[in-house]
Amino acid sequence: MQKQALVRFGIRKSPIGNKKKGKNMDKRYDGAIAFAQRWIDIIHKSKVTEDEAQAIIEESKYNFAEHFNRGWLNYRKSVTEAGDWASVEWTGSGAIFKDVLGREYIDCLGGYGMMDLGWCNPEVIDNVKAQLIRSPMPSQELIDPLRGVLARLLAMIAPGDIKYSFFAASGTEAIEGAIKLAKMYTHKDGFIAALQAFHGKTMGSLSMLGKSDYRTPVGVLYGGPVFHVPFGDADAVEKQLEISQKVGIDIAAVLMEPIQGEAGAIVPPDNFWPRLREMTKHYGVLLIADEVQTGFGRTGKLWGVDHWGVEPDIIALAKSLGGGIMPVSAFCSTEEIWQCMMYPNPFIHTTTTGGGALACSAAIAAINVTLRDKLWEQAAAKGEYIIPKLQDLANQYPQIYHSITGKGLLIGQHFHNPDVGYKVAAGLFKRGVLVAGTLTSAQTIRIEPPLVITYEQIDKVLNRLEDTLNEIGKAL
């Protein structure tokens, strides 16, 4: 059946072949042109037939397996739990998305926090379209206005005295920039981060990450000293600062997530962030807040650090900054700290595509919607609605649940073992709800929907979760 779908759609799964010069090379180029044009035609279609959809599914699986990452297919519930035809995402609106076959899902993953405004927010798309027609990318020589507009806009809403920003495309780039900025300003090399922390997977960010799964295979990471302490343990941070000072190891910064996301929506004690601010000032160390996942309303405040009224020296932003439409990230700091980015060499940190006009146009619109609609208030109210109901389910099924954690719409369901967690995730997927186990804890499943999810949709999720738990509970 699947092979027939490919044939009906004119798709041939064949290897690339030898990359030789001459006529063979010309033929290969001809094949690439035909392949690209076919997919351009697909992209421009408003609808596809069932036969075309099935062929797209099979070719997508082949392309991933042969040219991207075969292991992803083994990991994804969209392949292993979707029945005869794997789920290939196609379109969406708000908290609902559909796969290429038209199957509908409630999104409680939110692109790991990227979809705060939901799928295909029309205001963000309209702004990007308008800029796309005018000028999609900068010349690199002339002043591109939207980069300055976005930087000023962030200065208007960022915590404390944050004034300057640099733009890139991903969260890990924002963390890399924050690390570099801290080192340049302080002329120090050491960092303190948290166990179970997630800050990205490029080399500098990976050095700060607090789990061996991603660090060990790479070997030697960032060259400077990095110390990891338990998240939420202010005494441990202070002790490490004290020891480092006594043995002559200079610490540039303490880097923390306001609430740990990938570890499972872990909320620190209320005195943790205020004490971090107090002790970093005492020891002459910078405080970096990784707001990549918590920023822009996810946890019930505009910024994660707003829960404790703390003003960090540097913040890193990404994910929902682009409104779920364009990839854009930033690291931001005060005028004093930013001097080393401007003098003596204003080109000390650059990127060709970061801060492009399309990305900035998306971010400007996304911030406007977030502020106008006070989405952090929606996140707070919906979190207060969901979390007690999840706690009731956890109490009802103690053989399944360990605990419920989180703030706003960054919520963690913690299970007794990874097998049970996967059964819950798979059961929800079969019932049309998308969730995922976290990257640093297979025993944890986050509920992290778009902030615009409706209460009716929330109730459907809770009902389907209860049905899933009932099924699992009977089998235990």
What is the token pair recorded at 347? Answer: 């080109």
What is the token pair recorded at 449? Answer: 């929907």
Nearest to 1 by CA among 88, 116, 85: 85
Residues in the chain: 476
Q: In terms of DSSP H, where are the helices of 9-159?
A: 23-43, 50-67, 70-75, 77-80, 110-113, 122-134, 145-157
Cis peptide before 344 (omega within 30 of 0): yes
Instruction: Name the pairing type of β-strands 104-107 and 433-434.
Output: parallel
Distance of CA 279 to the CA centre of its chain: 29
Asked if 451 and 411 count as a contact pair (C-beta separation under 8 A), the reply is no
| 97-123 residue pLDDT tens | 999 999 999 999 999 999 999 999 999
Asked if 240 and 417 count as a contact pair (C-beta separation under 8 A), the reply is no
Give the span between the Cα atoms of 417 and 124, in whole angstroms: 40
What is the token pair recorded at 151? Answer: 């930087």
Beta strands in 230-271 (DSSP E): 251-256
- Give, rounded to a whole angstrom, the gap between the first and last alpha carbons of the chain: 36
Kindly state the DSSP code that residue 260 receives in the 8-state scheme. Answer: B
> Taken in order 347, 348, 353, 359, is the CA torsion positive or negative?
negative
Give the span between the Cα atoms of 179 and 166, in whole angstroms: 13
Give the span between the Cα atoms of 224 and 217, in whole angstroms: 19
Rg (CA), the chain: 24
What pLDDT score does 160 carry? 97
Give the span between the Cα atoms of 113 and 134, in whole angstroms: 30
Partner residues linked to 401 by β-bridges:
415
Asked if 337 and 301 count as a contact pair (C-beta separation under 8 A), the reply is no
What is the token pair recorded at 282? Answer: 């005492």
Element at 412 (helix H, strand E): strand 410-415
The residues, any chain, with a CB within 8 Å of residue 9's CB and separated by 6 or more, are 51, 52, 54, 55, 56, 59
Asked if 276 and 234 count as a contact pair (C-beta separation under 8 A), the reply is yes
What pLDDT score does 439 carry? 43
CATH 3.40.640.10 holds for 122-372: yes
What pLDDT score does 257 carry? 98
Give the span between the Cα atoms of 174 and 289, in whole angstroms: 11
Nearest to 114 by CA among 239, 256, 354, 295: 295
Per-domain residue ranges for the chain? 2-75, 122-372, 375-475
Single pTM value for the model? 0.93
Partner residues linked to 107 by β-bridges:
434
- Assigned superfamily of 375-475: Aspartate Aminotransferase, domain 1 (3.90.1150.10)
Q: For the chain, which ranges sit under pLDDT 50?
A: 14-15, 17, 438-440
User: Within 13 Å of residue 313, how many CA atoms lie on the same side as its CB?
Assistant: 24
Phi (first) and psi of residue 95, to 5 degrees = -100, 10
| 303-360 residue pLDDT tens | 999 999 999 999 999 999 999 999 999 999 999 999 999 999 999 999 999 999 999 9
